Structure 1
């Protein structure tokens, strides 16, 4: 059965590779996959994963390693997800307009057949894997609560397993407002994103001035809409060319250097233990500036990436990875929890500091979770493939 499934997947990937049109933005697919890989490896190997008081915790070692915060300006890839999402969603929005015969964007009347077609397509891909993940973990948690006397429940014992859901909830939010944001982008372009950036900065000022976390939660939504909006400019091609790409990257870098001189914005783009606040949640304007910097780097790398991905072997690897990308993202923390429970059961060390023992164990912290993730992919990837399967005539274009 396993070999049969493997051959079926191989044939499916081969068909997708062979049918990829020349217009496909292959760099977008590569960056989506690379970003997920960075997240997975960060959670597995670059966090100090251990049990504290019987609870899974995963602080990062950034504060304990000199200048490690600089790495987070590249490795905090959540903004990249949203920039890529903006690119892909504007393409899908345009495709929905062509399919429904309503190509015009009207910010005053964004809802209609075009919006319904777009949202059906996006949500069909996103919601089934999320629902299966939630149902499976709810069932497992219920069984453990009934069967294990001292089991404290997932929300206490292994809340980190649910980390992928908060990101996907934010991502779902920006998808739901695409009919509005795409129309506003086409009508107002740079004026809107400059206004949005100013609003993000003002909301941060209100938060820091009043101490109210309500403003922080407001910016948690606005910052991700801002990053998503940047992807629209990438898709439209207005930033095309090495000079504009370099200018975008330099503006983002200068902005990061400036805002992180202020006490309110930590230099690390990921949360660190002992810090008064972090940039990620509630999300601050520093993440919006990081998105500008990372978009510039993406634009600079795009020509070389597309040349590399024009070759069959690397493109096949990207197509293969993207076929299970949601499954990997949703279940990689479950695989980590299973690996940690196994390590504790056999007495393997789980240091709570970045000691020499911690560094020496990094390969094991990649290999063992990967061994648990593999069967989870086999089990749950069919849900993702079924959700992504086209309804009606097959399409494999840049709008997918």
Structure 2
């Protein structure tokens, strides 16, 4: 508590505390949402298995418009990435150094999960467990990695996407939304492969909104490079000029290309109304499913990859978030609530990564004791079991967070500041020339991006691999090797390799 009090006292006055609250709430909602819809049953071989309760409760589909909070996480991530990148550059750092700093917080807790699961799977195989069963357990425990793969694919693109945002403003968001719509047309009419880029375009679009929020907070609203095409000057800056039809069109164009998110109450209400209207039209008379969470048997999945309906729902969510912002900020300037938010955020990724492992441990324990309830989804017994189920899972997860949370908490402070440009680390006796520094910077940046790519590939490959494959480590060997190589390369760069010419 004293540590949290010290951290709270050192919080900068201009920090957008509301975003920290949103991050914590988003992850907590994901965890409780997964637990809430889980239905456990005994399979044909007499072993516990599970599936989603949503197909048995179609009346709950509209509720997924509230509990589908992945867009909130990407929104917060966009703001946080823009803020940390700007801070890194203000200190004289570079984009590769920023990437390495972000990788520490994201990959250290993830590596702990991967190593523990791979080691446990190997031990289980050695003591005679069935290979397919081991893989099924590990597959379920690593379901959170598919979401993390999407986020890790977006992070390395932040320097480029933020530069585009600074140049073209919200026009970048409009282009990304259009690309998502084109991908949806591919899903509807073919070829279906046109929708695959939506895994990137959809989350990038929401990530860009975070940039716009950051610029609105900093008052950096006008994109760079907007000039009058006739005079070469910015609108309204011509000496002695009078408003004309041409200058009016130019000013209107500049407003369209603003870099700032509209933060007014009126804008928030328009986002809610517009987002809901589009979502209702596309899911009612339209071809999209109502649920924003995957339902087995549905022809389309609104979240994998993101669809235009998910973007519409995210717009409505954004409007609601903006409506509550000022009141939430005032509340978070009280000591106790802010300390609680800091505490949750210090281990929030650990909570997310291990919450399905908690399910495995609890189900295994109850099954071993012969007291595992298996009520049918949507029945009165199933709803009555929800409260003790959630309480017991919370207790198991609390133990896991106690064990593995310190790994994340220790990496809470940015490691990016340790990576100074090569010319700042060189001594007077050995200072590399400009060409050498440039070559090292390029090599370092390329290695960092390759490390991210290897990790994303590993997580994606694990997610799409068969969940009964007889893998010796419970993970596809190629995916495990790619992950260890990618994470190892990033760790090597963080230790200082490649920062000297």
Coarse TM-score class (shorter-chain normalised): 0.7 to 0.9
Q: Could you tell me which of 19, 34, 37 is aligned with 2:28?
A: 37
Question: Which position in structure 1 is the counterpart of 2:89?
Answer: 97
Deviation of residue 144 (structure 1)? Answer: 0.6
Alignment pair present for 1:58 and 2:51: yes
SS in 2 for 1:269: coil
- Cα deviation, 1:169-206, whole Å, max 9, x if unaligned, reads 11111101001110001100121111111111011102
In structure 2, how many angstroms separate the alpha carbons of the residues matched to 1:119 and 1:308? 33
SS in 2 for 1:122: helix
Q: Which deviates more, 356-365 or 38-47?
A: 38-47
Deviation of residue 127 (structure 1)? Answer: 1.0
Segments of 5+ residues of structure 2 without an aligned counterpart are: 217-259, 419-501
In structure 1, how many angstroms separate the alpha carbons of the residues matched to 2:131 and 2:265? 56
In structure 2, how many angstroms separate the alpha carbons of the residues matched to 1:38 and 1:92? 25
Segments of 5+ residues of structure 1 without an aligned counterpart are: 1-9, 101-112, 395-400
Question: Which position in structure 2 is the counterpart of 1:11?
Answer: 2
Q: Could you tell me which of 47, 61, 67 is aligned with 1:75?
A: 67
Deviation of residue 31 (structure 1)? Answer: 0.7
Question: Which position in structure 2 is the counterpart of 1:221?
Answer: 200
Q: Which has the larger radius of gyration?
A: 2
In structure 2, how many angstroms separate the alpha carbons of the residues matched to 1:359 and 1:127? 37
Contact persistence 2:180–2:306 (CA under 8 A): no
Question: Which position in structure 2 is the counterpart of 1:366?
Answer: 390
Deviation of residue 316 (structure 1)? Answer: 1.2
In structure 2, how many angstroms separate the alpha carbons of the residues matched to 1:50 and 1:221? 35
SS in 1 for 2:205: helix
Alignment pair present for 1:316 and 2:339: yes
Task: Spell out structure 1 runs of 4+ moving beyond 6 A.
Answer: none
Q: Which deviates more, 113-122 or 374-383?
A: 113-122
Question: What is the RMSD computed on CA atoms of the aligned residues?
Answer: 2.0
Question: Which position in structure 1 is the counterpart of 2:376?
Answer: 352
In structure 2, how many angstroms separate the alpha carbons of the residues matched to 1:317 and 1:349? 34
Alignment pair present for 1:21 and 2:45: no
Deviation of residue 244 (structure 1)? Answer: 1.4
SS in 2 for 1:361: helix
- Cα deviation, 1:120-179, whole Å, max 9, x if unaligned, reads 221111011111111110110111111134353443245221111111111111101001
Q: Could you tell me which of 215, 223, 228 is aligned with 1:236?
A: 215
Deviation of residue 392 (structure 1)? Answer: 8.9
Aligned residues: 371
Question: Which position in structure 2 is the counterpart of 1:278?
Answer: 301
Q: Normalising by the residue count of structure 2, what TM-score does the alignment of the two structures yield?
A: 0.71
Question: Which position in structure 1 is the counterpart of 2:189?
Answer: 209
Deviation of residue 318 (structure 1)? Answer: 0.8
Question: Which position in structure 2 is the counterpart of 1:303?
Answer: 326
Deviation of residue 57 (structure 1)? Answer: 2.6
Q: Could you tell me which of 320, 331, 335 is aligned with 2:358?
A: 335
Deviation of residue 70 (structure 1)? Answer: 1.5
Q: Normalising by the residue count of structure 1, what TM-score does the alignment of the two structures yield?
A: 0.88
In structure 1, how many angstroms separate the alpha carbons of the residues matched to 2:416 and 2:107? 20
Alignment pair present for 1:47 and 2:38: yes
In structure 2, how many angstroms separate the alpha carbons of the residues matched to 1:376 and 1:321? 14
SS in 1 for 2:49: strand
Deviation of residue 391 (structure 1)? Answer: 4.4
